[in-house]
Amino acid sequence: MAAVATSSTKNGWVSENGTYTYYTNGEVASGENYSYLPSISGTGYNWYLVKDGVALSGVQKWYGSYYYFEPTTYLKLDHQDYVKSQWGLWYMVGSDGIVQSGVQKWYGKYYYFDPVTYLKLDHQDYVKSQWGDWYMVGSDGIVQSGVQKWYGKYYYFDPVTYLKLDHQDYVKSQWGDWYMVGSDGIVQSGLVQWYGHYYYFNPVTYLKATNTTFSYNGMSLTADNTGIITGTTTSSQFLLKIYQATLDGWKEYGVLPSVTAAQAILESGWGQSALATEANNLFGIKGSYNGQYVIMSTAEYGSGGYYYVNAEFRKYPSFYESVVDHGYFLYSNSRYSNLLHQTGYATVTSLLQSDGYATSPTYASSLNNVITTYGLQSWDTAAGV
């Protein structure tokens, strides 16, 4: 119980107007101070935030931070709690009595509190924490994990770290289904390469296809009971071998996938040329690759007409390296700079011919015919062109 003077002069804590005021010989200290005073309870001393003698409670600003003082004891909160302020809004308060913002743990879950308003987030958002990492927060203010929809795409957040996945992985969702996630954290659909095999993920359900045959981007494919994809025809088997490499060639060097695939088909005879079978060289690029080459006879043209010479041709570990190196070949030769990052296949094939890639007057039209016949324009779409 607060001590009240028995004389007409007020001293100590006096209950008045629904709160407590501290008097010294009938006077109150002016201004706002955090003072060590006799306890309002009458036992010992405690610290109080006092303004013009009046003990403050609820949420109060003090030296740039907001503190919470209990409305019954007027003492600064000394344990974490989610409290209601004097104006009716709720705030998370730490064990130091300071109103918290950012990501905070509370009863086994993580919540996000706005760093400006200090209120729990009430809408879905992708937010930056006080330590710099980004988290997905739901409309209930809880930091999310697992598969979450955000701006029309599905993302995966690690259930331990709550961070967006930053590497390709095949993951189990919070409802038990498995999904393929890319290095950008986005749940993938379509044809995806994983540990040396292709798998197909339904663009509606995002689930892996098994025990089915289907057509995709000009290829006739089948999925076995584990989901591994193979081509059902010789041409589809070849296209499947170069598919991912053409997409990567666009990503790395800006060479259109449909055109790269058409060139590989024409120049290697669907991967059946001697150079393709012996050296995985689909484009007849001379020289060596990481010191590896094969010597083969090739026709040259001189004043006396065609003649044959032996020449070194690059030898690749697989078709993949051949396709990507083809992209680098075009990228690193300035004469072909005008065709890089072009999005229309007819434009690229025309530029290849005018830039002198091939001497045949029908080279561009031949490529265009292959592209339309096998629907290779869809490869450009798959690459995000």
For 131-189, the pLDDT digits (tens) are 999 999 999 999 999 999 999 999 999 999 999 999 999 999 999 999 999 999 999 99
pLDDT per residue over 363-385, tens digit each? 999 999 999 999 999 999 999 99
Q: Give yes or no: residues 206 and 296 share one domain.
A: no
Q: Give yes or no: residues 221 and 348 share one domain.
A: no
Q: Give yes or no: residues 307 and 363 share one domain.
A: yes
Q: Give yes or no: residues 107 and 75 share one domain.
A: no
Please identify, among 63, 85, 100, the residue that sits at the C-terminal boundary of a domain: 100
Output the domain CATH number for residue 177. 2.10.270.10
| Cβ atoms of residues 262 and 287 within 8 Å | no
Q: Give yes or no: residues 244 and 377 share one domain.
A: yes
Instruction: Compute, in degrees rounded to 10, the torsion defined by CA atoms 229, 234, 235, 241.
Output: 50
| Cβ-proximal residues to 32 (8 Å cutoff; 6+ apart), any chain | 49, 50, 51, 52, 62
Please identify, among 81, 100, 119, the residue that sits at the C-terminal boundary of a domain: 100
Q: Give yes or no: residues 227 and 243 share one domain.
A: no
pLDDT grade for 305, boundaries at 50, 70 and 90: confident
Q: Give yes or no: residues 227 and 264 share one domain.
A: no
Q: Give yes or no: residues 303 and 375 share one domain.
A: yes
Q: Give yes or no: residues 332 and 249 share one domain.
A: yes
Neighbours of 249 (CB within 10 A): 27
Q: 326: burial class by Cβ within 10 Å (0-12, 13-18, 19+)?
A: buried
Q: What is the mean pLDDT of residues 286-294?
A: 95
As for how many domains the chain has, the answer is 4
Where would I find the beta strands (DSSP E) of 228-304? 229-231, 293-302
Output the pTM of the full model. 0.85
Q: What is the mean pLDDT of residues 242-249?
A: 97
Q: What is the mean pLDDT of residues 334-352?
A: 97
The span from the CA of 49 to the CA of 56, in Å, is 6
Give the pLDDT confidence score for residue 4 in this predicted structure: 42
| Cβ atoms of residues 25 and 7 within 8 Å | no
Give the pLDDT confidence score for residue 1 in this predicted structure: 40
pLDDT per residue over 201-239, tens digit each? 999 999 999 999 999 999 999 999 999 999 999 999 999
Q: What is the mean pLDDT of residues 252-276?
A: 97
Q: What is the mean pLDDT of residues 290-315?
A: 85
Owning domain of residue 119: 103-181
Q: What is the mean pLDDT of residues 312-332?
A: 97
Residue 243 in any domain: the answer is yes
Residue 109 in any domain: the answer is yes
> Is the per-residue pLDDT at 304 higher than 80?
no
Q: Give yes or no: residues 272 and 361 share one domain.
A: yes
Give the pLDDT confidence score for residue 142 in this predicted structure: 99
Residue 4 in any domain: the answer is no
Neighbours of 226 (CB within 10 A): 10
Residue 271 in any domain: the answer is yes
Q: How far apart are the first and last CA of the chain?
A: 77
Output the domain CATH number for residue 375. 1.10.530.10
pLDDT grade for 301, boundaries at 50, 70 and 90: low
Give the pLDDT confidence score for residue 307 in this predicted structure: 77
Q: Give yes or no: residues 281 and 297 share one domain.
A: yes
Residue 2 in any domain: the answer is no
Residue 1 in any domain: the answer is no
Q: Give yes or no: residues 58 and 69 share one domain.
A: yes
The span from the CA of 303 to the CA of 305, in Å, is 6
Q: What is the mean pLDDT of residues 336-361?
A: 95
Residue 3 in any domain: the answer is no
> Is the per-residue pLDDT at 124 higher than 80?
yes
Residue 279 in any domain: the answer is yes
